[in-house]
Structure 1
Amino acid sequence: MAVPRDDAPDPAAPHGSRARWLAVADDLLRAVRPYASPGHALLTLPGPVSASGRWSDGLEGYARTFLLAAFRVAGEGGADPDGLLDRYAAGLAAGTDPASPERWPRMTERRQAVVEAASVAVGLAETRPWLWDRLDEGVRARVVDWFADIVGTDGYRNNWLWFQDVVEAFLAEVGGPWSQDDLDRNDALREDLYVGDGWYSDGRGRDGERQSFDHYAGWAWHLYPLLHARIRRRPLEQVHAERLHAYLAQARHLVGSSGAPLLQGRSTTYRFAVLAPFWAGTLAGATPLRPAETRTLAAGVLEHFLEAGAVDEHGLLPIGWHRAYPRLRQLYSGGASPYWASKAFLGLLLPADDAVWTAPPEPEPATGPQVRALPVPGWLVVRTPADGLVRVLNHGSDRMLEPRVVARADDPAYRRLGYSTATSPQLSRDAVAAPLESHTALLDGAGAPSHRDGVQRVHLGDTCAVSRSQVHWLDTPGAPGAGDDAGWAGLRRGPQVTTASVVHGVHELRLAWWHPADDDPVAHPDADAAWPADPGPWRMHVGGWALAGAQRDEVRVEDDPDRVVLHRADGTVSAVRAVRGLDEAGATWRDGADPFARWSATPWLRSSAPVAAGAVVAALVVLAGGAGDDVDLDAVASVDVRDGEVVVRWRDGRRDVVPAAHVVPTVDGTHP
């Protein structure tokens, strides 16, 4: 079944070239070979075991690497110098044989098999002339039987509905069973989760909100329509093409000029899978990017991860971001989960003479800071090409799935105020239980920070965003009032905290104030909850961007009574500067909490005294790369709190007006 070729890819091929992508694909596929079972059906990679178990993880290893092999072989017109398809064909035969010790779990045995079945279906469709069409009839019948478990099933409430559509599309193409009722139901669910302007919410929240925005919008919601269309040998439907085009016009700004993508949301261990929608747009003719722009962006992301150590010394993709970092995983993640990164190699389906590979390079023009509002996810995006950074100020995405009566910590992947291409939420157990970074909180009597919980949108303009949340405190085992059982945790309900971000260049002026929850009807569902209300009083905390270094001395802390500035050896700066109502400053160090590097520090500001209801505090929060030349910690001239608004004046003369309900008007610069 192997098809030889003479022009093997050059490992030293230029970055961005198609040969470079082929070489990286080959390296990744060769590295996983030693971990395959004798019959090649299960590929069990090193790393933690997922919640589905090692058996399911072995199927995942097969399916996700098969996807990479399929793109690599199909893109070369069947050329297969390493005999990839021979091994995957053998695995297909063993995995679907009920008598084989390597048989795959059925979808009735492991729900995760639904996900992996979609990758197998795509791989078979893309390589059909060289694999499926040459299989023994008995093997094909067993594969159809294994896939057929999905027909008539339901309960898919997020991107999983596409797995059913893709598998049933393949079944329809090969004469297997499928259900129009399944497809119609999924169509209705898909439209229900489409929020607009190219964005899907990956499910609904606890109260029906559609506020789950992350990379799944790209590597699932906008990828699978194209893969589905290719299985059915049809063009991408116009509605999906238009949505993909709209999404890419925004997603392109979530990748830094250095090639670093935004670190936000779940499953970020998939790393360069963020490129999947960009290749999909090119394949479908549904992209606002010119061919050279797509090539440059994709090459930048791939090389960013390779240079940062995302591939380990064994040639494998471990769970992590730059380096191996198991804490980044979700419970559904196992050792092979990172190989959803295979989706980044979709571009290999574009032939060597396509303009995406041949168009002359187009360097990104030098510009100053770019600020964009993305209304659907509720984000303000600040991009600075000069230092390669992208910052997202989050006033609209929360993935709030937990019932209100469940003791819960904020999900650090969704409910921080800020995400960027150079920083991460802190992920150690203590950091999740007591969030500090990119966070505004009330501090209780013991100094514990509140949790943000669900995000209620208030305002989103070109340079200003406002949101509020009913906060709570998490009482973990061993904390006063947490109960006698070591496995028990509780919470205390708090007031509403409103946070505003006003952006000027690399500077964010962050405003915050609180008011009683009873003032807001949205908070009423908690009024009769079993958990007690914290009586207060409370101090205010404003946390800046955490900065990480491999050694503690890579990050230097410079602090004064009204400011903290972190300087990293590469020139990156994270700073906070008190503007109003905050008179304590410090930095919190953590060991092992950050996926970028071992040591991390978070700068913060606090009020030493309790803050009254409606009293506005303000801080300048900055993240900058390079030498931090654009950072001016005295950029704010004044903050005037008026009835229903806050007026911000910058020293260069700019003026911003922030809508502000429940604030107490004060004289400029004073605090009640």
Structure 2
Amino acid sequence: MFRRKFIKAMGMTAAAGMLPSYAHAANEGEEKIFSTHVPGSDREYLWKLLADMATPVLESMSKGELHKKMQVEVSPTWDGRDKRVAYLECFGRLMDGLAPWLTLPDDDSEEGKVRKKLREQALMSYVHAVDPKSPDYLLWRKEGQPLVDSAFFSSALLRAPKHLWEPLDKTTKERIVTELKLLRRVKPPYSNWLLFAAMNEAFLLSVGEDYDPMRVDLAVKKINEWYVGDGWYADGERFHFDYYNSFVIQPMLLKVTEVMVEANRMEKAIYEQALRRIQRYCEHLERLVSPEGTFPPIGRSLTYRTGAFQPLALLALRKQLPDKLTEGQVRAALVAVHQRIFNNPSNFNEDGFLTIGFAGHQPELGDSYSNNGSMYLTSESFLPLGLPANDSFWTAKTEDWTAKKAYRNDKFNKDYPVNY
């Protein structure tokens, strides 16, 4: 909407090696930095960036034109699955990060008007998502991948039930329930996939539908068996040094256990343990942000970009940050990583859809399952936008994050392992 329109007006794509006039290309031998950020508040920067991301998707899908408008990009190592999985990935993942922001009340500000429009488009998009007669009916009943992205779809509805679920018409609600139940056809492997099945069942329970307790109990028990200590879980029998604790494991475990506890289907101690562990994990995430706002490019699904910071964003939204992290330092760190990643205009294609890459268009970084729809998991790092503008998260004094303090020879907290 904002950055996207400017880039299109310039008639350029970074993939073609061209830079807009406002970008600074470093002198030979210097680091190249792209500067597209217009000065303003931290909140303004983040909501406009999220709006840039969401608008092409929801403008198209609300009219039943996502399949028509979104050109699917797949990685060079694509595994051959039906490329139409990209559209459910795109919509489900985007909505999970966008949902909290859409819960804020309408107002006459620029942000409020954009937010209201996106909410209205999202509701129309849900209708198309499950209408078999719509050109944008999503790929629910083929391949195993839809189990993954149905969980993000369900999670978004759990994050904003009064704004995204309750306003839907009866037919659309029934169709959503049907599609989620039919996905029980997919047998999840013993990995983070167990949580996708559990998330759908948690949502079904939350709306008064029959749910499969075995798919929830198995997921929670196995994930806890795979806990390796100090706030980290393995993804299956072996530990992987990547961001899947951020992308899936920690946030979904927290939400599933919370829903179960609220429904008196699980002991509260299980949820409380998950909360303590994600808080500890967030202490690590915050320390991974370098003084310059970069973070380690490690592991699978690196192209999910700032989605690596979903737990930090989530606990900020929930007002559950660990005591060692202040809102001012977390906000500053999150803004810094977004600026470092998204200042390169090639993160978006000429039509405004995300491209495959980490800090720009880098398709070679894609995994065998990566398409540009997958990239919308990056929206998960925008969750604090669900807090109103006058919340202390936005008004607190900006503070340096840990690494910035450390390399300036300032005082900062030492770090010790935990035994929970």
TM-score, normalised to structure 2's length? Answer: 0.76
How far did residue 56 of structure 1 move?
Answer: 1.1
Task: Find the partner of 1:28 among 32, 53, 61.
Answer: 53
Report whether the alignment pairs 1:340 with 2:373. no
Measured in 2, the distance between the counterparts of 1:74 and 1:316 equals 24
Correspondence for 1:202: 235
Note the aligned Cα RMSD (angstroms): 3.1
Correspondence for 2:291: 257
Task: Find the partner of 1:269 among 273, 285, 303.
Answer: 303
Report whether the alignment pairs 1:222 with 2:250. yes
Correspondence for 1:53: 82
Task: Find the partner of 2:129 among 87, 92, 95.
Answer: 95
Matches within 5 A, 1:19-168: 19-32=44-57, 36=61, 38-40=63-65, 42=67, 44-48=70-74, 51-76=80-105, 81=114, 83-106=117-140, 108-151=141-184, 154-168=187-201
Equivalent pairs counted in the alignment come to 358
Contact between 1:226 and 1:280, CA under 8 Å: does it hold in 2?
no
How far did residue 34 of structure 1 move?
Answer: 6.6
Structure 2 alignment gaps of length 5 or more:
1-36, 263-267
Contact between 1:41 and 1:88, CA under 8 Å: does it hold in 2?
no
How far did residue 311 of structure 1 move?
Answer: 2.9
Report whether the alignment pairs 1:193 with 2:233. no
Measured in 2, the distance between the counterparts of 1:180 and 1:33 equals 34
Contact between 2:247 and 2:377, CA under 8 Å: does it hold in 1?
no
Measured in 2, the distance between the counterparts of 1:274 and 1:62 equals 19
Contact between 1:25 and 1:68, CA under 8 Å: does it hold in 2?
no
Contact between 1:151 and 1:182, CA under 8 Å: does it hold in 2?
no
Matches within 5 A, 1:636-647: none
Measured in 1, the distance between the counterparts of 2:170 and 2:97 equals 25
- CA deviations 1:577-623 (Å, max 9, x no partner) are xxxxxxxxxxxxxxxxxxxxxxxxxxxxxxxxxxxxxxxxxxxxxxx
Contact between 2:102 and 2:163, CA under 8 Å: does it hold in 1?
no
CA 239–83 in structure 1, closer or farther in 2 if over 3 Å, else same:
same
Measured in 2, the distance between the counterparts of 1:57 and 1:162 equals 20
- CA deviations 1:620-640 (Å, max 9, x no partner) are xxxxxxxxxxxxxxxxxxxxx
CA 180–46 in structure 1, closer or farther in 2 if over 3 Å, else same:
closer
CA 189–130 in structure 1, closer or farther in 2 if over 3 Å, else same:
same
CA 348–75 in structure 1, closer or farther in 2 if over 3 Å, else same:
farther
Measured in 2, the distance between the counterparts of 1:346 and 1:117 equals 19
User: What amino acid is aligned across from residue 127 of structure 2 in structure 1?
Assistant: A
Contact between 2:347 and 2:356, CA under 8 Å: does it hold in 1?
no
Correspondence for 1:312: 348
User: What amino acid is aligned across from residue 356 of structure 2 in structure 1?
Assistant: I
Structure 1 alignment gaps of length 5 or more:
1-10, 205-209, 377-672
User: What amino acid is aligned across from residue 61 of structure 1 in structure 2?
Assistant: C
Question: Could you tell me the percent identity over the aligned residues?
Answer: 25
CA 202–375 in structure 1, closer or farther in 2 if over 3 Å, else same:
farther
Task: Find the partner of 1:367 among 388, 404, 409.
Answer: 409
Measured in 1, the distance between the counterparts of 2:56 and 2:66 equals 16
Contact between 1:296 and 1:361, CA under 8 Å: does it hold in 2?
yes
User: What amino acid is aligned across from residue 290 of structure 1 in structure 2?
Assistant: T
Matches within 5 A, 1:120-519: 120-151=153-184, 154-204=187-237, 210-228=238-256, 234=262, 237-282=271-316, 283-287=318-322, 288-309=324-345, 311-312=347-348, 314=350, 315-363=352-400, 364-365=404-405, 366-367=408-409
Measured in 1, the distance between the counterparts of 2:409 and 2:104 equals 37
SS at match of 2:195: helix
CA 191–131 in structure 1, closer or farther in 2 if over 3 Å, else same:
closer
Measured in 2, the distance between the counterparts of 1:110 and 1:152 equals 10
Correspondence for 1:400: none
CA 152–52 in structure 1, closer or farther in 2 if over 3 Å, else same:
closer
Contact between 1:22 and 1:348, CA under 8 Å: does it hold in 2?
yes
Between structure 1 and structure 2, the one with the greater Rg is 1
TM-score, normalised to structure 1's length? Answer: 0.49
Is the strand fraction higher in 1 or 2?
1
SS at match of 2:166: helix
CA 155–125 in structure 1, closer or farther in 2 if over 3 Å, else same:
closer
Contact between 1:41 and 1:95, CA under 8 Å: does it hold in 2?
no
Contact between 2:72 and 2:86, CA under 8 Å: does it hold in 1?
no
- CA deviations 1:362-410 (Å, max 9, x no partner) are 2343129x9x99999xxxxxxxxxxxxxxxxxxxxxxxxxxxxxxxxxx
Measured in 2, the distance between the counterparts of 1:328 and 1:191 equals 31
CA 301–52 in structure 1, closer or farther in 2 if over 3 Å, else same:
same
How far did residue 276 of structure 1 move?
Answer: 0.9
